[in-house]
Amino acid sequence: MAGEVMVATTTEIPGYKVRRVLGVVTGSVVRARHLGRDLLATLRNIAGGEIKEYTELLAEARDEAIKRMVEKARQMGANAVVGVRFATTAVASGAAEILVYGTAVVIEPEDHG
C-alpha cells in the first residue's frame, strides 16, 4: 500500500484496523456550465433522456474533489480515508460545488495469528 490512500464510504475497512485518527479532510471543486455543453444539454432535454454532458461534467468534478481530499490526507500522513461522503451545492446560477469529506486515518492489516 506504499503511497496509496484507500478511500471508503464505510467507517471500517475489512482486514484492517485503525491505528490513528488524524482528522477530517475535504476536497471541493466549483464547476460552471460550459456554453457548448449547455446547448447540447438543452437539445437533449427537449428530446428527453440522460443529459450526458452534465453527467460527464459532474463525474469529472467528483474525481477532482476526491483527488484533492486524498492529497490532503496524504499530507497529514494518512493511508486511508473512511466515512467518505459527498455533497453538492449550487453556488451561483450555472455553477455548482462538489464537496467530498471523510476522516483521515492510519490503518494497518489485522493480525490473523
Work out the angle at residue 31's Cα, subtended by the Cα atoms of residues 64 and 96, and round it to the nearest 5 degrees.
110
Within-domain flag for 52: no
Within-domain flag for 96: yes
C-alpha–C-alpha distance, residues 56 and 22, integer Å: 33
pTM of the shown model: 0.82
Domain that holds residue 29: 6-33+62-109
Predicted confidence band of residue 18 (pLDDT cuts 50, 70, 90): very high
Within-domain flag for 54: no
Q: What are the pLDDT digits (tens) for 81-93?
A: 999 999 998 887 7
C-alpha–C-alpha distance, residues 14 and 51, integer Å: 37
Torsion sign across C-alpha atoms 31, 58, 5, 2: negative
| Residues 13, 104 contacting (CB under 8 angstroms) | no
Within-domain flag for 50: no
Q: Where are the alpha helices (DSSP H) in the chain?
A: 35-47, 52-76
Q: Is the pLDDT confidence value at 14 over 90?
A: yes
Overall domain count for the chain? 1
Within-domain flag for 47: no
Within-domain flag for 57: no
CATH number, domain containing residue 26? 3.30.110.70
Q: Is the pLDDT confidence value at 61 over 80?
A: yes
